[in-house]
Structure 1
Amino acid sequence: MGGRLPTETELAKTYAIGVNTVRRAVDLLVEEGLVRRKQGSGTFVTAGPVASGMTRPRFIGVLVPSTTYYFPRVVQGIERAVSAAGAQLVLACSDYDLDVELAQTRQLVDAGISGLLLVPNLHLSDDPAAHLAGLRSLPVPYVLVERRPQDPSLADPTSYVCTDVLGGGYSAVQHLHGLGRSRIGYLGRIGTATSEQLFDGYRRAIADLGLPELPAAVARQPSWTGPDLLAYANQCVREKVRGVVCLGDREATALLPYLRRVGLSVPDEVALMAYDDEVADLAEVPISAVSPPKEEVGRMAAEVLLRRIELGPVAPVCRVVLQPRLAVRASCGAAAGALVEVRVPT
């Protein structure tokens, strides 16, 4: 324990302020874990001087693109790790807007954060590499969450913790193939942070497993309407599709009634796999999904950042990629409730 503080009365006299004002200030220090009251002895600093080159975090900034979908569970994981370290979380949202992201980043830094956990909108930037390079001028340590450089140099200094989305796309196809489905289509959005990686995983699995390519049953667009989904369901009939990988849960859920409308039952005739696992289990036929370890991503990202804050300039660059799991449900016809590890060949 560190040194003993003067009494509240002594502090009030020294600084010519009211005792109640001093008491409120000390209460805040207690809440932040910087001092501790000991009954009958006084108020003491909780730790001695910080070692050279090391910083004790007080506030951790977290900037996410959404607070309503996907990222709440990531933030939960962050909050657990930050709280365990005696720090506080300051949350901001960019609403998938590059200008808002920049403004919120500046506000967090100006607010005195010790470090930043950032989900940058790289997929919206004309030059993602330049966007990431601009972060290097931040005056605080930072770690990317669920984002990483696309083609980093060997000396790239960016630390990140993210999900292996490519592996998730691969495992979805691999799982359907293991169930005897050989004609597998793809339905997904484009222009999202994960769309290209997931589609690349799908294509790689189709090639590696020697499955037939079905260009007419591969459909990607920014959003999906009822007529779009009906047209795709008809393509599934014409192409004799036996399985579909979807990005994401909402698209897979919306596809279900259109498959039924054209006479295809799920999972008997067509098996469905989704990516995200936010609402997949709530569909009329619970949908099997590639399930990113969202809370674990948040927890590990926070721990990496806290370590970088602690070590300062000598902190090593950390690149952490976590494999998702498959939450197996009724839509693929396998044993419901099974969890399957992703295995991507090198």
Structure 2
Amino acid sequence: MREAATARRERVLATVRERGEVRVAELAAELEVSVVTLRRDVEELARQGKVRRGHGVARSLTSDPPEAARPGTRGGSGGSQGSVGLIVPEHHSYLFEAVRGARAVLEAAGVRMAMHIARHVPGAERDMARQALEQGAAGLLIAPRWRTARAPRLDEDWLCELPVPAVLMERRPAPGTPLHALDSVCSDHAYGAHLALDHLVGLGHRRIVLAARDDSPTARTLRAAFAGFAGERPEIESWTAVLSSRATAPEPPREPVEGSLVDLAPVLREHGATAAVLHADVDALMLVQQLREAGLRVPRDVSVVAYDDVVAALGSPPLTAVAPPKEEIGRVAAELLLSRLNRPRGAAPAPIRRTELLPALKTRGSTAAPPAR
């Protein structure tokens, strides 16, 4: 087994030296092995200092990296000096705070940021990445929409074969998948769920409801972590999780549905709940208004913790919220990308980084001790 791997790596090395640069996917097809196997071979050869590993390519030590992959050079047709492409989905105010953080770091380094907004259609991020590369982007910061749990698999091939360094923002691929080997910077949303529950339990709440979206990696992580923590804490007598609205499901209705927001008051009354965690902010503000119309006062009758903290402070009352470090996500991702771009020629590849930043709890006027039974 070891001899077969050694022989295969010798063939990989010979091919890279002969051609100067080869795409991992193409060479895997030539050698009739999986892309994952060949990627491991390239990583081992790079560790031994025999080849240079790029995103989706392997290069000989004597070949120069492409012009578009060097900061401060003009790549592609009509590209800009030292540009970096940043890809985010449309209508996503949460990620726009990360954009602000990334822009500050890139501009301080003299690198122009070109923003590309992907529509909510399959393949949109891939098309934006292709456009950014054609315009000479030296690297990419990417926050794919990934509305469903299976969506990351549809992006594996093109993300792993990018010819320039790329960093995923606020996205954490599942272990054991090809995307697991991409640089990523993400909030620890499981810790955010812990903060919300710990705050409410500390105030004396024992029956808690989660009304959350289910159409993003953040939402799915939050829902899973809430269920895990709530089920493990002996102080919590009852908990349940519901979808905040039909529009926030992985597969939303094709046409807008009037009154699609969950009717939260009956859910709270059914479970005798005195507290709710609401994801995300805009849904939280609407649900608080809905509770008020149903005769439930916040926080006198029910305490509310919002998740995201984009507009939670603007509520009436201002909502206690879990605040992921959104702007810092962009800053750290940009710094990581710059470190890749500025790595000396011929240097051994740096280890892949998977960075997690902890959210914080912002206590405001929507949480209090539960009413006396």
By how many angstroms is 1:309 displaced? Answer: 1.3
Name 1:33's counterpart in structure 2: none
Q: Which amino acid aligns with 1:214?
A: W
Equivalent position of 2:286 in the other structure: 254
Give the distance between the partners of 2:153 and 2:179, measured in 1 at CA. Answer: 14
Larger Rg: 1
Within a 5 Å distance, the mapping from 1:68-87 to structure 2 comes to 69-87=93-111
Deviation of the 1:157 alpha carbon: 2.0
Distance in 1 separating the partners of 2:324 and 2:119: 21
Deviation at 1:67, TM superposition (A): 5.9
State the match for 2:253 in structure 1: none
1:120 and 1:316 mapped to 2: Cα distance?
A: 23
1:135 CA displacement = 0.9
Report the alpha carbon displacement of residue 255 of structure 1 after superposing the two structures with TM: 1.5
Q: Structure 2: state its 5+ residue gaps.
A: 1-63, 73-81, 249-256
Distance 1:244 1:144, change over 3 A: same
**Normalization by structure 2: what TM-score?**
0.69
**Contact 1:158/1:317, CA 8 A, preserved across alignment:** yes
Q: Which moved more, 1:261-270 or 1:290-299?
A: 261-270
**Corresponding residue for residue 71 of structure 2:** 56
Q: Report 1:1-346 matches (<5 A).
A: 55-57=70-72, 58-66=82-90, 69-124=93-148, 126-152=150-176, 156-210=180-234, 211-215=236-240, 218-223=242-247, 227=259, 231-311=263-343, 314-333=349-368
Distance 1:68-1:251 versus aligned 2 partners, 3 A rule: closer
Measure, in 2, the Cα distance between the counterparts of 1:214 and 1:295.
32
Asked whether the equivalents of residues 184 and 243 of structure 1 are also in contact (C-alpha less than 8 Å), the reply is yes
Distance in 2, Cα, partners of 1:85 & 1:317: 22
- Counting matched residue pairs gives 282
Deviations 1:195-242 (A, max 9, x none): 111111211221221212334x64454338785657321221232211
How far off is 1:169 after superposition?
Answer: 1.7
Identity of counterpart residues, as a percentage?
Answer: 32
Amino acid in the other structure paired with 1:326: L
Taking structure 1 as the reference length, what is the TM-score of the superposition?
Answer: 0.75
Partner deviation per Cα, 1:308-342 (whole Å, 9 max, x = no partner): 112266122111011111111100138xxxxxxxx
Report the alpha carbon displacement of residue 148 of structure 1 after superposing the two structures with TM. Answer: 1.6
User: How far apart, CA to CA, are the structure 1 residues paired with 2:149 and 2:188?
Assistant: 21
Shift in Å, 1:134: 2.6
Aligned Cα root-mean-square deviation (Å): 2.5
Alpha carbons of structure 1 residues 240 and 274: separation in structure 2 relative to 1, 3 Å: same
Larger mean Cα displacement after TM superposition, 96-105 or 123-132: 123-132
- Maintained 8 Å contact 2:238/2:271: no
Give the 3-state SS of the residue equivalent to 1:178 in structure 2: helix
Contact (CA 8 Å) 1:219, 1:232: kept in 2 or not?
no
Distance 1:309 1:81 in 2: 14
